[in-house]
């Protein structure tokens, strides 16, 4: 493959690794002389398979770390809000809860909830009557009623 930074032996130059956003991985893998990973003709080239395998290991580690954070997986489609008879700001409440989960700052989360819910003329989580219409509409299959009850308690809301 001419002009791509990859040759028929599937090697990568640092320039190619940089273009792929993998410079730090390239530099960690860049072998010392005669380590077996270098091309004899050019010691600054390493095997692309090695660099992408290392990147994938890093991606899997990052994915596992992110998946361990108990975020509410709301996409803010607002299908739930459209069917809510109480006009609760469901996605705004979820966003505020996720902010609290990520940063541990309750006041910041409450300010976010005030803007995303009250600032958009929606009601707080505590106003939920647990009818379940929202859960029937949710494409993410979130247990919305349970999450809203937890949010109302966390934010100190009264019905």
Tens digits of residue pLDDT in 10-69:
455 555 555 555 555 555 555 543 344 444 444 444 555 666 677 777 777 777 777 788
- Residues 101-137 pLDDT 10s: 988 999 999 999 999 999 999 999 999 999 999 999 9
Residue 45 class from Cβ within 10 Å (0-12 exposed, 13-18 middle, 19+ buried)? buried
Residue whose C-alpha is closest to residue 55's, from 67, 65, 63: 63
- What pLDDT does 17 receive? 53
Residue with the larger pLDDT of the pair 50 and 89:
89
Residue whose C-alpha is closest to residue 135's, from 93, 73, 75, 81: 81
What span, in angstroms and rounded, lies between the C-alpha atoms of 137 and 84? 10
Domain extents for the chain? 11-67, 79-154
- What pLDDT does 93 receive? 97
- Residues 35-51 pLDDT 10s: 444 444 444 445 556 66
Tokens for 48, please give them: 């692309």
Residue with the larger pLDDT of the pair 73 and 32:
73
- Alpha-helix residue ranges (DSSP H) falling in the chain: 14-19, 23-29, 48-67, 79-83, 90-103, 106-116, 133-137, 144-154
């Amino acid at each position: 493959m001419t002009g791509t930074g990859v040759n028929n032996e599937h090697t990568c130059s640092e320039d190619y690794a940089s273009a792929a956003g993998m410079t730090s991985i390239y530099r960690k893998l860049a072998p010392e002389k005669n380590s077996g990973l270098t091309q004899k003709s050019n010691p600054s080239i390493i095997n692309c398979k090695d660099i992408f395998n290392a990147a994938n290991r890093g991606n899997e580690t990052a994915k596992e770390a992110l998946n361990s954070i108990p975020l509410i997986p709301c996409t803010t489609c607002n299908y739930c809000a459209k069917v809510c008879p109480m006009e609760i700001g469901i996605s705004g409440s979820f966003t505020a809860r996720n902010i609290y989960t990520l940063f541990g700052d309750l006041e910041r989360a409450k300010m976010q909830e005030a803007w995303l819910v009250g600032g958009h003329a929606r009601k707080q989580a505590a106003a939920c009557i647990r009818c379940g219409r929202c859960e029937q509409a949710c494409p993410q299959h979130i247990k919305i009623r349970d999450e809203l009850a937890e949010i109302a308690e966390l934010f100190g809301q009264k019905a």
